[in-house]
Chains A and B, each alone.
Chain A
Amino acid sequence: MKKLTSILLIGVLVLMALTGCSASGDGGSGESDVIKIGWIGSLTGDQAVWGTCEFNTVKMMVEEANANGGWLGKQIEVIGYDTKGDSLEAVNAVKRLVGQDKVVGIIGPNASGQAIAISQVLEEAKVVDIATVATNPKVTVDEDGNTKPYNFRVCFIDPYQGAVAAGYAFEELGFTKAAILYDVADEYSQGLTEFFEKTFVELGGEIVAKEAFKFGDVDFRPQLSKVKEAQPEVVFMPYFFKEVALSTSQARELGIDATFMGGDGWTSEQLLEMAGDAVEGSYVVNHLDFDDPDVQDFKNAYTEKYDAAVELNGYLAYDAFKLLEEAVKQAGVADSVKIKEAMETAEVQGITGKIVVNAKTHNPDGKEAAMLKIENNSYKFQMKYSVGQ
């Protein structure tokens, strides 16, 4: 038994050492005529599709801005690190960006878990971070309700997203019996679940089943068999597209014919490819309408440059970059504290709507959600929807 323990211990150590460090940065020379910005996110792992799109977007924006003379007459350089979807890696990446690369601001990550984990490092270094699609309330506000000084974001938050899904399901689609399947190991999923449940019940609906799985699971049939038994009209599935593809396919195989509904974790071109018919007719809460004329220029430019479709994250990375640009220009100097001050009053026309930073919460004010429906294997815009306003 002792042998076993020591083997396991050594195994864990080796694993930690091997997975420890791998950066994909451009390095930095530290010349003063360059403004450095950072980006963090997943370039490998489950969410690599999104992270890659974000980083590509930021790189494209930097090139564009540099071609137009850069910021404050200086060229911009972006340094990106892979977080592998891991909070600890995210903290290390931020430490490297502020300590070694001396960036003036950071864009990303897309996931709430990582965005929450990096707050302390940001505060010590006094460098702002603009999260892209991190929708958990605690990204910008701590447990006691105090605003985190250096965390910002350009997306709406989970309570809002969960409430929108519940409101739309109950009021627009007329469903009264809902089931929820969620990821018990993920803050994003828990946040959406909590507020979906709250709003749906307040409106007069009933939650007939609430089942959980754990990140990394690939088989959801035990939970779905229980969902089937409860006979819901709508199944809310607030998690990311890989699990969505697997769970919706398995649900259809078990003979569940309820409508599926999800949050912004769904919106990937990959989902349509992976899930096919299983997600047909499902509804998704999204940050924008992909067919909006205003977003076509960016969409086409990106597709031309990278020969790939833009993921949702690209649009929000675009807005995060625009917000940082505005703050740097207003601050008039590439100083991270001045940039933070400018950020609190910044207003910029983003691609997902007008971004008006709320100085109290560091969230963008008044962003509406766009409801999409999956029809003929593509996302069809239904309507702009908001609750409680």
Chain B
Amino acid sequence: MSTFIQQIINGISIGSVYALMAVGYSLVYSIMNFSNFAHGGVIMLGAYMGFFALAVFALPFPIALIVSAFGAAAIAIALERVAYSPLRKRNAPFLYFIISAMGASIFLENLVIATIGPNFKTYPKIISQEPILIGDIALGRLDIMMFLISTISLAMLLFFIEKTRTGMAIRATAYNLRASSLMGVNTDSIIFIVFGLGGALAGVAGVLFGMKYTVYPQIGFITTKAFIAAVFGGLGSLTGAVVGAILLGIIETLTAGYISSQLRDLIAFALLIFILVVRPMGIMGKMNEDKA
């Protein structure tokens, strides 16, 4: 029994990192209707910024987290201006956006390899590795901290989207970009804000990921799973992305723990495909547009 609880805790902890990343995909998708594959690159840069802030400039952790969040937001916005905005102005098919995103992602990875180098960087230990033991169950201090930071960031985002005027404009734009712009919403600045929000979350996710798993140029790789979680939860739905991510984390751990660790990905993803076949819009998605 204690192993089962331990596995659920493991799953939630893995899932909460996926969630922070998945929300970034969903945010951009809900407005622009394309999957921003460069998101992984922004997460990676956020992780590096956090590393330099902590290890080189010796900033306190909360400041480092904020620096990364703002830095990553700036990068995400710059990326939008350089890689997507010109396409948007020319009404390019959304396929071009995806290719531009993939290009940007590979560019960022190689930029880091060329400038910072391909080696791993280890975050300074800012919190004790000693777990909190409740009976036989180990709770990592870092995991608890990560879970709290993820939850707070996501709650702040949801509050912003649901309760503020700008949030309402974002929701309106997500519903129909053209109609909102006819109604006087400045969609250009909405897109600006959405990329900034997605980027800030990517920065936080990057720092948390880096603290837990070290920093290296291929971090973006892990976002594949976050993307799958976003689709699984229902692309475009923020709560869906969070639910999908946590579920993916738990499904993965339980498969590895109780069926077979050799076949973990095979079984976990077969299950995901099955769910999508039964419910193509994802768990919480709305079925009013073509999925990309």
User: A interface vs B, CB < 8 Å?
Assistant: 3-4, 7, 10-11, 14-15, 18-19, 43-46, 48-49, 184, 211-214, 216, 218-219, 221-223, 225-226, 228-229, 242, 245-246, 249, 252-255, 270, 273-274, 276-278
Contact = CB atoms under 8 A, between A and B. Distances in A.
Contact of B99 (A10, A218, A225, A246): A10
A110 B167 CA distance: 53
A140 to B, nearest CB: 28
Contacts, number: 110
Interface in B160-203: none
A140 B86 CA distance: 54
Scoring A216, A222, A223, A226 by chain B CB atoms within 10 A of each residue's CB, the highest score goes to A222
Contacts of B222: 216, 218
A270 B120 contact: yes
B288 interface: no
Contacts of A3: 290, 292
A78 B99 CA distance: 37
B50 to A, nearest CB: 16
A226 B3 contact: yes
Interface of B: 3, 6-7, 10-11, 13-14, 95, 98-99, 102-103, 106, 113, 118-120, 122, 125, 129, 131, 133, 136, 138, 140, 142, 212-214, 216-218, 221-222, 252-254, 256-257, 261-262, 264-265, 290-292
A11 B218 contact: no
A213 B252 CA distance: 11
A15 B261 contact: no
Contact of A212 (B106, B212, B214, B261): B261
Scoring B95, B218, B261 by chain A CB atoms within 10 A of each residue's CB, the highest score goes to B261
A222 B118 CA distance: 28
A80 B265 CA distance: 36
Nearest to A51: B118
5 contacts: A4-B292, A218-B222, A222-B252, A226-B261, A274-B120
B218 A10 contact: no
Contact of A213 (B95, B261, B291): B261
Contacts of A270: 119-120
Contacts of A273: 122
A48 B118 contact: yes
A12 B11 CA distance: 30
B210 to A, nearest CB: 11
A45 B292 contact: no
A212 B262 contact: yes
A187 to B, nearest CB: 15
B25 to A, nearest CB: 15
List the 4 closest pairs (A to B, CB-CB), nearest first: A222-B256, A48-B118, A222-B253, A221-B10
A223 B102 CA distance: 33
Contacts of A14: 99, 102-103
Contacts of B140: 253
Contacts of B133: 255
A244 to B, nearest CB: 12
Contacts of A276: 125
Given A212-B262, A213-B261, A242-B120, A18 B103 contact: yes
Given A45-B118, A214-B264, A274-B122, A7 B106 contact: no
B124 to A, nearest CB: 11
A249 B212 CA distance: 10
Contacts of A211: 256, 261
Contacts of B213: 218-219, 246
A228 B257 CA distance: 12
Contact of A254 (B98, B138, B221): B138
A255 B221 contact: no
Scoring A48, A219, A249 by chain B CB atoms within 10 A of each residue's CB, the highest score goes to A219
Contacts of A249: 129
